């Protein structure tokens, strides 16, 4: 089921109908990335009609994004029993969303959602191949993360240099611990990812 939300009251009613799982996509027509995110969730909706998805157009349904602390589009929130259990910023694939929502096996053999949910922030910049590799790696393992583009956020860049002593990207903040570069062994350790077999 995919439904465009008309107002906040309609969301309250839908939460009564779908108390166990309701997915919200915060969308804005002004964002190309949000358009891509919408296509991926529409694909998910075609594949899995049992997953209820609501699209919240932030230009038409005013204030709801602030109520949920959403600062960018696209952002996907997963609501269970009226509480936000996951927040996923940026564009992900339909397959990624399905894995997160259905608990299908991850590439490392664990079940999605089986391990502690971690706060992951990836600091990156445009045109950084290692940044792209890192994000692809995290997505392949079903891990949600937030991206900070240090080229667009000078304050975040300065704070990062103060913390790590380096301006290099990518840097990944995992529950307050920084990993500089695409250090797969350290990422695997901090994120409980089993080493990949060749």
Asked if pLDDT for residue 15 goes beyond 70, the answer is yes
**pLDDT-based confidence at 173, cuts 50/70/90?**
very high
**pLDDT value, residue 23:** 93
| CA–CA dist 118, 83 (Å, integer) | 17
**Would you state the pLDDT for residue 196?**
60
Task: Report the sign of the C-alpha dihedral through residues 132, 190, 41, 35, in that order.
Answer: negative
120 or 142, which is more confident: 120
Please indicate whether residue 57 or residue 78 has the higher confidence score (pLDDT).
57
Q: What is the mean pLDDT of residues 60-84?
A: 88
78, HSE (Cβ side, Cα atoms, 13 Å): 17
User: Who has greater pLDDT, 45 or 115?
Assistant: 45
Of the candidate CATH numbers 3.30.420.40, 3.40.30.10, 3.30.420.10, 1.20.120.1200, the domain formed by 2-102 belongs to 3.40.30.10
Q: What is the mean pLDDT of residues 109-124?
A: 65
Residue 102: the pLDDT is 67
3-state secondary structure of 180: strand
The overall average pLDDT reported for the chain is 85
> CA 105 to CA 88: how far, in whole Å?
19
Segment 171-192 mean pLDDT? 92
| DSSP secondary structure, 75-119, as one string | EEEEEETTEEEEEEES---HHHHHHHHHTPBPTTSSBTTSSPP--
Of 55, 67, 52, 64, the C-alpha closest to 21 is 52
Torsion angle of C-alpha atoms 111, 194, 185, 95, degrees rounded to 10: -40
- Which of 42-46, 112-116, 132-136 has the least mean pLDDT? 112-116
8 Å CB contact between 164 and 139: no
Asked if the domains 2-102 and 120-191 are classified in one and the same CATH topology, the answer is yes
CB 9 within 8 A of CB 64: no
Q: Are 134 and 122 in contact (CB under 8 A)?
A: yes
User: Is residue 193 over pLDDT 50?
Assistant: yes
Residue ranges per structural domain of the chain:
2-102, 120-191
**Whether pLDDT at 112 is above 70:** no
154: helix, coil or strand? helix
Does residue 123 sit in helix, strand or coil?
A: strand
Instruction: Look at residue 143 in the predicted model and tell me its pLDDT.
Output: 83
Task: Look up residue 162 and give its two tokens.
Answer: 């103060």
Considering the domain delimited by 120-191, tell me its CATH architecture.
3-Layer(aba) Sandwich (3.40)
């Amino acid at each position: 089921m995919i439904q465009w939300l008309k107002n906040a009251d309609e969301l309250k009613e839908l939460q009564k109908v779908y108390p166990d799982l309701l997915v919200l996509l915060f969308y804005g027509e002004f964002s190309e990335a949000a358009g891509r995110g919408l296509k991926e969730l529409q694909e998910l909706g075609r594949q899995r009609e049992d997953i209820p998805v609501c699209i919240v157009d932030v230009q038409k349904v005013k204030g709801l994004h602030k109520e949920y602390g959403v600062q960018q589009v696209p952002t996907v929130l997963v609501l269970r029993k009226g509480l936000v259990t996951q927040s996923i910023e940026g564009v992900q694939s339909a397959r990624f969303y399905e894995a997160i929502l259905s608990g299908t096996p991850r590439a490392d053999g664990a079940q999605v959602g089986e391990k502690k949910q971690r706060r992951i922030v990836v600091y990156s910049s445009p045109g950084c191949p290692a940044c792209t590799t890192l994000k692809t790696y995290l997505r392949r393992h079903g891990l949600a993360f937030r991206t900070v583009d240090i080229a667009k956020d000078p304050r975040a860049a300065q704070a990062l240099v103060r913390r790590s002593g380096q301006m290099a990207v990518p840097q990944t903040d995992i529950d307050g611990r920084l990993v500089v570069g695409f250090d797969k062994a350290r990422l695997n350790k901090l994120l409980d990812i089993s080493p990949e077999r060749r």
